[in-house]
Structure 1
């Protein structure tokens, strides 16, 4: 399959759907027949895109084997993947896996991505272009939780702009509540020039890599972790810089998000195929086959939709502490996830 032009503009039909949902009041989303809701998708049996229950349970057990004990995690129920993925009609290869990740796996994923990986200075963020980033520790691959940007050690960190005449300094509240939009793992994509650097990339986090590769037919070589708040959007684009057409996986954590995805018209008289999907915490989405290079975007984040058991992250009770009034080492950030959606978007760079 030939890669599309990275500089092409999205079709008007897909842009119109994006704009319509961007402007739509959340109350208007109820019972829309043109919206796929992951909570209500019918089950369907598919072929090799479906992880088996044995693979899922084994993968979850491996991933949780080194859970950081500073944070209490809800007891898992049987992994209800819902379990068969749903292929979106008219978008071949676009599969939704409702509730794929259990609560324990979701919280462990947040711990790894936002405490450990965000604090690894080998991973670039949107802030690196304009700011000198100060870290709460020395560079190392295995960052402990008390060396996180959410830790008390980091509370006094101030990011200094590279050009003070253009940008103001940022404190950690400003960074984590609004200014931080993404961080990259593995292959460090250059968003300005739309290329991967030729230099050797830092290692992709081993535990996340193993989980993704156990569940999906791909290699986890590069990823972007997006940080959204209600009111944030992601404009229409296609991921076309990888040197292969292997699948792309997206995992949702936190608040619900609307995902608009579409393919160009096939032929002179055909219309573009487009769908809008409501993705919830724990859902996964696989873009493969013809849908690997589909246009996609996030027109809306729905506030007050984060699962109740996740809302207090990262201030979860410390099980080793007898004082129930203590929310652990991140008490100052209690309720942070209530207003956040975290999206892990993983891709394979090479054939």
Structure 2
């Protein structure tokens, strides 16, 4: 299958393609005998790893005692692709949403899709402060970028204007390369240490870079390969918020496998699937789980200032009472990779 043909599948997935949903794994196994293998995981074995992540965050969400039963699914039709269904507990999903907004997005070294067009305040607080209500155009845009004619409301960034932020190594989306593999370079800032420790403890990866995508229902991600890294270490993709379809084609010769991914699921692309074509053709509206859409983010306890970790002060007004309604209509995906 050519990349163009794969892209057509991503644009319009068909019933003839294999769609796997962990909630109906038995039906898939019956329809495609021998393709899927299921393993029930021991949640207690990784409980301390998740607890350390919460404890190491600048603001900490309260614990949630709801038990989880994570499962691992692997597929003969997509060698190396692993789906960890329900791996991330509800409270840790809440913590990740909180950290994305308050730790990962604000630092000026973490560039976004809107930096070339708008003069974002540094640090950039998505839900603002008492001093920020709108964002003015960038007075000195990079070559090839034409800034907008007028300022944009902060609410428009919360809605659809903000599409991604890069953590760690700053991938150049125009040139499709990393500007530097030198850890001393400004283009290769340190990866958030708490998130790096979490993922390194769970998976075979030493995180160097991540793109954090912010999807709204109706958004898609076209078929592509992640090939800019010098390392062939696993790719790790964490889903939060609304459900989506993830497509992965291990070669160009077969239609891609469809996976329905939910909040708390983790996809690992390893082995033959490390450089597979993949995309996101659909995000379901109204599918964000209640533990996020109804979360009390205002209950987070401020444990330490982000100034100690990232060098910036918290906003004068967090806006935490609005995080739940925002994530109710979003899918956040943290796609993490090792560069070296």
Aligned length: 306
Q: Tell me, which stretches of 5 or more residues in structure 2 are unaligned?
A: 27-35, 302-317
2:73 is the alignment partner of 1:81: no
Q: 1:342 aligns with which of 321, 332, 339?
A: 332
Report the CA distance shift for 1:245/1:192 in structure 2 as closer, same or farther (over 3 A).
Answer: same
How far the C-alpha of 1:96 sits from its partner, in A, is 0.2
Q: Paired residue for 2:154?
A: 172
Secondary structure of the residue aligned to 2:211 is strand
Q: Paired residue for 2:127?
A: 150
Give the alignment's TM-score, normalised by structure 2. 0.81
Which aligned pairs between 1:60-79 and structure 2 lie closer than 5 A? 60-67=50-57, 73=62, 75-79=64-68
State the alpha-carbon separation in 2 of the partners of residues 251 and 191 from structure 1.
21
Report the CA distance shift for 1:79/1:156 in structure 2 as closer, same or farther (over 3 A).
Answer: same
How far the C-alpha of 1:348 sits from its partner, in A, is 0.6
Worse-matched range after superposition: 52-61 or 95-104: 52-61
Q: 2:19 aligns with which of 27, 30, 35?
A: 35
State the alpha-carbon separation in 2 of the partners of residues 303 and 177 from structure 1.
14
Contact 2:38 2:74 (C-alpha < 8 Å) held by counterparts: no
Which aligned pairs between 1:198-347 and structure 2 lie closer than 5 A? 198=180, 199=182, 200=185, 201-265=188-252, 271-312=253-294, 316-318=297-299, 329-332=319-322, 334-347=324-337
Query: CA offsets, 1:174-222, max 9 Å, x none?
Result: 1121110000001110111111112521110111001100000111111
Give the alignment's TM-score, normalised by structure 1. 0.78
Report the CA distance shift for 1:273/1:114 in structure 2 as closer, same or farther (over 3 A).
Answer: same
Q: Paired residue for 1:323?
A: none
Report the CA distance shift for 1:264/1:304 in structure 2 as closer, same or farther (over 3 A).
Answer: same
Q: Tell me, which stretches of 5 or more residues in structure 1 are unaligned?
A: 1-7, 138-147, 266-270, 321-327
Report the CA distance shift for 1:334/1:307 in structure 2 as closer, same or farther (over 3 A).
Answer: closer
